[in-house]
């Protein structure tokens, strides 16, 4: 396995930046080229300390730019492409699905095509890898007593986000079966942790508690998600890159299913304990039920027995510990999240929460 020269797309975002930190910490000799369009979700500040190292470079550019991608693959002699770049928020995909099809489907196709040429030009070396990072949402929604999603669960995406990710997964799979391109696919459950943009549930709740703003719960708050601390996702991707055979798919999850309302209550308890100054205390007083998300998936849960058996990976951070680390991080990094509450953010916020 090569893993010496990585092109990492979308690593100015949440999971990608955590992965870049993880990778540099574990493999400091490895070259990391980050390709990111720096959309609203991409933030150079997520990488500040890393970019001081000569091994790490950030290229601002779009994954749909075939010429640029081809140049980077060749110029840096990339042996491994780790693909995080995506439009990633379900609510934004409901407001405007087009960007999701463009980046998630066309962008992934562009990367696969450029990588195929790069691989073929070198005589199809066995050790190259294209890791496509995806989501459990492609499998659709579970009933309360359904078994968790496995790698053989049929795809049934319900939002423009999950449909566009499903399309990109199918392309990555097809490039293995058709061309023999050494692709890998991972489908992971909901992540949480540092550098998470405050539009997703956990960072939004942390930021709103610190600002004394309402904590909006969609519908009846009984929807269930399976939560994984982002560092554990990074170690799972490491295990897949090192141990998985080309063409394989692995589910990754935290085995930590929680109802949204219970999760928000846990976050409130932690914030009440950890924050010295809060505009409203106890923060539970801020909980507000709002109109449900259209097509809101009821339950996600991941069966992770395959990655446990094949690669010996399992989550190492408990939900309690992970949430405590996360709440502490948001408390200590006001300077990181405050600038993100921009005019564009306020406009988005009004569209979702004030004029549903
Ligand atoms: P994110 O929205 O925080 O980051 C996405 C990054 O991609 C940003 O830095 C953005 O600037 C960049 N980007 C967007 N469009 C681009 C384009 N056209 N060209 C280049 N860069 C572009 O997302 P995230 O939460 O870090 O998710 C990363 C990946 O993991 C996504 O593919 C997502 O589907 C998947 N995933 C996320 C979760 C989760 O809970 N967040 C769970 C499972 C899988
Ligand atoms: P989210 O973090 O957007 O992730 P996903 O929709 O990809 O699972 O949402 C997690 C859960 O929290 C989901 O059931 C929707 C719900 N939710 C709220 O109740 N209120 C909110 O303000 C947000 C952003 C999400």
For helices 160-179 and 108-121, angle between their N-to-C axes, nearest 10 degrees: 20
Contacts of 347 (CB under 8 A, 6+ apart): none
What pLDDT sits at residue 356? 58
Q: Which residues line ligand 1 (CB under 6 A)?
A: 9-10, 12-16, 36-39, 41-42, 62-64, 84-88, 103, 107, 133-135, 165, 188, 190-191, 197
Question: Which one from 136, 199, 257, 297 is the annotated catalytic residue?
Answer: 136
Report the Cα 140 to chain-centroid distance in Å: 17
Q: What is the rounded CA–CA span in Å between residue 159 and residue 137? A: 9
Q: Is 292 a catalytic residue?
A: no
Please, are residues 66 and 115 in contact by the beta-carbon 8 Å criterion? no
Q: Is 49 a catalytic residue?
A: no
Report DSSP state, residue 292. Answer: P
Which of 87, 197, 218, 354 gets mutated to test ligand 2 (max ligand atoms within 8 A of its CB)? 218
Contacts of 102 (CB under 8 A, 6+ apart): 64
Q: What is the rounded CA–CA span in Å between residue 11 and residue 33? A: 9
- With CA atoms as reference, report the closest residue to 196 among 225, 233, 230, 232: 230
Sheet holding 5-9, edge to edge: 56-60, 31-36, 5-9, 80-83, 129-135, 183-188, 249-252
- With CA atoms as reference, report the closest residue to 111 among 93, 85, 89: 85
Q: Which residues line ligand 2 (CB under 6 A)?
A: 90, 190, 200-201, 204, 216-218, 223, 225, 260, 293
Please, are residues 181 and 83 in contact by the beta-carbon 8 Å criterion? no
Which of 92, 95, 188, 200 gets mutated to test ligand 2 (max ligand atoms within 8 A of its CB)? 200
What pLDDT sits at residue 114? 99
Q: SS3 of 8, please?
A: strand
Q: What is the rounded CA–CA span in Å between residue 220 and residue 180? A: 46
Please, are residues 149 and 303 in contact by the beta-carbon 8 Å criterion? yes
CA distances from 268 to 35, 175, 207 (A): 36, 45, 11
Question: Which one from 36, 79, 87, 161 is the annotated catalytic residue?
Answer: 161
pLDDT, mean of each 10-residue run, the chain (356 residues)? 94 98 98 98 97 98 99 98 98 98 99 98 97 99 98 98 99 98 98 98 98 98 98 99 98 98 98 97 98 97 98 98 98 98 97 83
Q: Which domains does the chain have, with CATH numbers?
A: 5-192+229-255+295-316 (3.40.50.720)
Give the tokens for residue 271. Answer: 């914030």
Q: Is 27 a catalytic residue?
A: no
CA end-to-end distance (rounded Å), the chain: 50
- pTM for the model stands at 0.99
């Amino acid at each position: 396995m090569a893993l010496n020269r990585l092109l990492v797309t979308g690593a100015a975002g949440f999971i990608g930046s955590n992965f870049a930190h993880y990778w540099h910490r574990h493999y400091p000799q490895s070259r990391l080229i980050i390709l990111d369009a720096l959309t609203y979700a991409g933030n150079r500040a997520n990488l500040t300390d890393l970019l001081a190292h000569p091994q790490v470079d950030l290229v601002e550019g779009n994954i749909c730019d075939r010429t640029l991608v081809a140049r980077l693959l060749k110029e840096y002699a990339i042996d491994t492409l780790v693909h995080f770049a995506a439009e990633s928020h379900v609510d934004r995909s409901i407001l405007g699905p087009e960007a999701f099809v463009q980046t998630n489907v066309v962008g992934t196709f562009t990367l696969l095509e450029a990588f195929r040429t790069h691989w073929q030009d070198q005589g199809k070396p066995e050790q190259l890898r294209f890791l496509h990072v995806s989501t459990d949402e492609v499998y659709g929604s579970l009933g309360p007593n359904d078994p968790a999603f496995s790698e053989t669960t049929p795809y049934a995406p319900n939002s423009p986000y999950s449909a566009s990710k499903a399309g990109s997964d199918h392309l990555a799979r097809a490039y293995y079966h058709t061309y023999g391109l050494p692709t890998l696919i991972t489908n992971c459950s909901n992540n949480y942790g540092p550098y998470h943009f405050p539009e997703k549930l956990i960072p939004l709740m942390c930021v709103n508690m610190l600002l004394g703003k309402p904590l909006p719960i969609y519908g009846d708050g009984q929807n269930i998600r399976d939560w994984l601390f982002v560092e554990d996702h990074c170690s799972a991707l490491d295990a897949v890159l090192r141990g998985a055979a080309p063409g394989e798919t692995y589910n990754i999850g935290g085995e930590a299913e929680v109802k949204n309302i219970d999760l928000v209550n846990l976050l409130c308890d932690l914030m009440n304990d950890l924050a010295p100054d809060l505009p409203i205390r106890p923060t539970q007083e801020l909980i507000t039920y709002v109109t449900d998300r259209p097509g809101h998936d009821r339950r996600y849960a991941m069966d992770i027995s395959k990655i446990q058996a094949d690669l010996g990976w399992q989550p190492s951070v408990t939900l309690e510990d992970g949430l405590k680390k996360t709440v502490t991080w948001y408390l200590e990094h006001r300077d990181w999240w405050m600038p993100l509450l921009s005019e564009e953010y306020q406009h988005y916020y009004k569209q979702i929460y004030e004029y549903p």
